[in-house]
Amino acid sequence: MGIPDYYEFGCNTTIVAGHDALEQISGLLVSMEAKNPMVITDHGVRRAKLVDILLQALDGRITVRTIQDDVPPDSDIKTVQTLAAKYTKNRCNAIIALGGGSVMDTAKGVNILASHGSDNLLAFAGAGALHHTLNPLVAVPTTAGTGSEVTRVAVISDPDNDRKLLFTSGFLMPDAAIIDARMTLTLPSAITAATAMDALSHAVEACLCLGRNPLSTAHAHEAIALISHHLLPVIRNPGHKPGRLALAAAATLAGMAFSNSMVGMVHMLGHSVGSVCHVAHGTCMAILLPYGMAYNFHRTNSQLADLLLPMAGADLFARTSPADRAQKAVDWVHQMNRRLHQATAGAHTVCLREIKGPDGSTLVPGHLLPKIAHTALGDGSIFYNPEDLDYDDCLMVLEAAHGGTPLDRSRVKKG
Amino acid sequence: MMDFLEITPGRQTLKRWYLAVMFRFFGRAIQAAARVDQPVTSEFAAMPENYTFCLGAFPGGPYMVVGKDENGRVRYMGSSIAHRTIHLHLTFKSPALLFLVFTFRESTPIANARNRLYVRGDVAQACAVMRVMDMIQVFLLPKFLAKRAVKRYPDWSVKRRTLVRAQVYIRTIAGL
């Protein structure tokens, strides 16, 4: 691979991983002088009794000031402001984020406001808008996908404007991440599939986008290999703890990779589908990933070809001629989506028009695609995509992903 | 007590002078294109009234300030960020990094991917400003340079490549 003239890579987060890693949390909090934490979580995590496991792991040195479980599936500004006020009112001095991507990003947003004594989250949007360290934050992921436990990024919805706000700063990295296999054991198979495909999209985009570098690529390749080996076996046998831990490690590795090289059009379009149609992030990523790879094909052919090795293994890689490897990598992701569709009895969707709400309604009707394309043009991930996109390009990709038809690469403008 | 030689950092005067000239030209070109080019006009039309953004470098500039006035007209507002409300800051970490971009040795997307600039403000508006800057670079630069500055050289109509481009140049030079 070509090595860029210049790149940056960093991960300040202490990672504690293992089957019973959560038992280390009190020691970590004490070492940070963070004995009065607020716990931020959601109803699903509480129902799964994961809060109970957390509280059992905490010893007498730690006094949890308040447990807030009101985080919605799509974290938003108002939730962040409400929780930040409660943080101050309860005189907390740290946050434990127990949950998936929405909880993690909410916790990061709360930490921004609480650490700055502010109630205006918009003032901190963008890249590099934070100028000092934040209060201690310990992340305990309960899904294996977001990678937010090790990223310098938070994505928070602005529902009034149907958009997602991007916050990027090294200060957003949690101080510690605890990866414990018990946290993901009860995850339903469809969510396991979608979140793992989210992690896969982080890893793949980390290898393709403009900020790619040897260190992020190394992390991403290992993440892809772990997902390739363990995802389908875990879907078939959800109680397999080593497999769960491997997927959690993959999500963390992919998080480290994309936090340093950033992500592109898959996330740009996915954020917009999520904000306009309220679709789960992982579902959007799974569907859009092969389309993003196909769109950037002419710009990233050699990087795509390299992905086939961790995806499909050494045998298939060796049997495939170098000229065909990039296309095989795109095909592998399509195939993985189809296998997950079968393994989850159809719960894992392979095109946008198949996504259904709890009442069986279509969440992404075709008439909303123009609005999604327009919204996507305001997403910061566009900066990092290898190929440029205008409104027509976004619509073309969305239409293909909506119908589940392959992207016609001859229509991609090459300039 | 020992005497230590006090070292004053270099001012990089030539680079700053070059960037100041480029900014003046570039800022006036944005103003000109916003008057005569429909896609640039549309990008600014979607921004709020009195919206102001600046492009520059830490720690002390140079800066280029562009914004919409109370009548909705896009204006190049000079090089000073003092005593102004600026809604979007696009700030390179040093003049040397800004110099790389304005000498076309590194494109803005690559500079951004290499974490060379801070974006403070609304990211959606930053995307719009970046699209405007790409279009201005295509207007002003010969194709071989513009191809290095933008991700994808656009396939514009003959009218936009000739007539509109000429109008942008004339207005930029005249400051209209």
Instruction: Name the DSSP letter for residue A360.
Output: S
B110, B131, B153 member nearest A415 (Cβ)? B153
Mark whether A195 and A175 lie in a shared domain.
no
Whether the per-residue pLDDT at A2 is higher than 80: the answer is no
Q: Please give the structure tokens belonging to residue B50.
A: 């009195």
Closest-CA residue of B relative to A379 is B124
Residue A347 banded pLDDT, cuts 50, 70, 90: very high
A6 located within any domain: no
Mark whether A313 and A252 lie in a shared domain.
yes
pLDDT in tens, A181-220: 999 999 999 999 999 999 999 999 999 999 999 999 999 9
Residues A86-107 have a mean pLDDT of: 96
pLDDT in tens, A103-142: 999 999 999 999 999 999 988 988 878 989 999 999 999 9
Give yes or no for a contact between A234 and A179, defined as CB atoms under 8 angstroms apart.
no
Mark whether A107 and A217 lie in a shared domain.
no
Check CB contact of B59 with chain A, cutoff 8 Å.
no
A7, A126, A382 member nearest B121 (Cβ)? A126
Whether the per-residue pLDDT at B4 is higher than 90: the answer is no
Whether the per-residue pLDDT at A173 is higher than 60: the answer is yes
Give yes or no for a contact between A172 and A236, defined as CB atoms under 8 angstroms apart.
no
A253 located within any domain: yes
DSSP letters, B153-168, are -----HHIIIIIHHHH
Mark whether A160 and A196 lie in a shared domain.
no
B115, B119, B123 member nearest A378 (Cβ)? B123
Instruction: Name the DSSP letter for residue B148.
Output: H
Mark whether A166 and A266 lie in a shared domain.
no
Give yes or no for a contact between A264 and A380, defined as CB atoms under 8 angstroms apart.
no
Residue with structure tokens 């327009």? A374
Give yes or no for a contact between A260 and A216, defined as CB atoms under 8 angstroms apart.
yes
A130 located within any domain: yes
Give yes or no for a contact between A82 and A110, defined as CB atoms under 8 angstroms apart.
no
Check CB contact of B1 with chain A, cutoff 8 Å.
no
Residues of B in contact with A128 (CB under 8 A): 91, 117-120
Domain boundaries defined on chain B: 13-174
Distance CA B172, CA A236 (A): 65
Q: Which of B135, B152, B153 to mutate to test the interface with A (most CBs of A within 10 A)?
A: B152
A125, A211, A414 member nearest B123 (Cβ)? A125
Mark whether A49 and A78 lie in a shared domain.
yes
At residue B1, the pLDDT reads: 59
Residue A317 main-chain phi, psi, to 5 deg: -60, -45
Residues B22-48 have a mean pLDDT of: 96
Whether the per-residue pLDDT at A1 is higher than 70: the answer is no
Give yes or no for a contact between B30 and B74, defined as CB atoms under 8 angstroms apart.
yes
Give yes or no for a contact between A311 and A221, defined as CB atoms under 8 angstroms apart.
no
Check CB contact of B126 with chain A, cutoff 8 Å.
yes
pTM: 0.93
Closest-CA residue of A relative to B92 is A128
Sign of the CA dihedral A266, A270, A271, A276?
positive
A126, A379, A387 member nearest B151 (Cβ)? A387
Last residue of a domain, one of A167, A184, A201: A184
A3 located within any domain: no
Q: Please give the structure tokens belonging to residue B13.
A: 């005067």
Distance CA A2, CA A19 (A): 38
Interface confidence, given as ipTM, is 0.90
| Contact check, Cβ <8 Å, B119/A128 | yes
Give yes or no for a contact between A294 and A329, defined as CB atoms under 8 angstroms apart.
no
Q: Which of A131, A299, A388 to mutate to test the interface with B (most CBs of B within 10 A)?
A: A388
The closest alpha carbon to A112, from A126, A130, A85, A93, belongs to A130
Last residue of a domain, one of A165, A184, A203: A184
DSSP letters, B121-138, are S-HHHHHHHHHHHHHHHH
Mean of per-residue pLDDT scores for chain B: 92
At residue A131, the pLDDT reads: 85
Strand ranges, E, within A142-236: 153-158, 163-168, 176-180
Q: Please give the structure tokens belonging to residue A137.
A: 């934050």
Mark whether A118 and A179 lie in a shared domain.
yes
Cis peptide before A386 (omega within 30 of 0): no
| CB-based contacts of B17, cutoff 8 Å, min separation 6 | none
A276 located within any domain: yes
Domain residues for the domain of A125 are 14-184
Domain count for chain A, please give it.
2
Instruction: Name the DSSP letter for residue A407.
Output: P
Superfamily in which the B13-174 domain is placed by CATH: SCP2 sterol-binding domain (3.30.1050.10)
> B118 or A27, which is more confident?
A27
| Contact check, Cβ <8 Å, A414/B126 | no
Whether the per-residue pLDDT at B120 is higher than 70: the answer is yes
Residue B37 main-chain phi, psi, to 5 deg: -110, 120
Q: What share of chain A is helix, strand, coil (3-state, %, to 5)?
A: 55, 10, 30
Whether the per-residue pLDDT at B9 is higher than 80: the answer is no
Give yes or no for a contact between B58 and B116, defined as CB atoms under 8 angstroms apart.
no
Whether the per-residue pLDDT at A341 is higher than 80: the answer is yes
Residue A84 main-chain phi, psi, to 5 deg: -65, -40
Residue with structure tokens 């049997």? A319
Residue B102 banded pLDDT, cuts 50, 70, 90: very high
- Domain harbouring A336, CATH code: 1.20.1090.10
Distance CA A98, CA A85 (A): 19
Residue B171 banded pLDDT, cuts 50, 70, 90: very high
A4, A126, A210 member nearest B120 (Cβ)? A126
At B42, which helix (H) or strand (E)? helix B38-45
A247 located within any domain: yes
At A109, which helix (H) or strand (E)? helix A101-116
Q: Please give the structure tokens belonging to residue B8.
A: 């004053």
Residue A174 in 3-state DSSP? coil
Distance CA B32, CA A202 (A): 41
Interface of B with A in 82-111 (CB under 8 A): 91, 109-110
Rounded to 10 deg, the angle between the B13-36 and B95-102 helix axes is 50
Q: Which of A121, A275, A379, A383 to mutate to test the interface with B (most CBs of B within 10 A)?
A: A383
The closest alpha carbon to A401, from A269, A268, A291, belongs to A291
Distance CA A353, CA A245 (A): 33
Mark whether A77 and A205 lie in a shared domain.
no
Side-chain half-sphere CA neighbours of A179 within 13 A = 26
Residue B59 banded pLDDT, cuts 50, 70, 90: confident
A2 located within any domain: no
Mark whether A159 and A207 lie in a shared domain.
no
Q: What angle do CA B91, B95, B97 make, to 5 degrees?
A: 80
Give yes or no for a contact between A107 and A139, defined as CB atoms under 8 angstroms apart.
yes
Distance CA B116, CA B97 (A): 7
Closest-CA residue of A relative to B129 is A378
- Domain harbouring A71, CATH code: 3.40.50.1970
At A195, which helix (H) or strand (E)? helix A189-208
Cis peptide before B9 (omega within 30 of 0): no
pLDDT in tens, A28-47: 999 999 999 999 999 999 99
Residue with structure tokens 């997902």? A227
Whether the per-residue pLDDT at B11 is higher than 80: the answer is no
Last residue of a domain, one of A184, A210, A231: A184
A220 located within any domain: yes
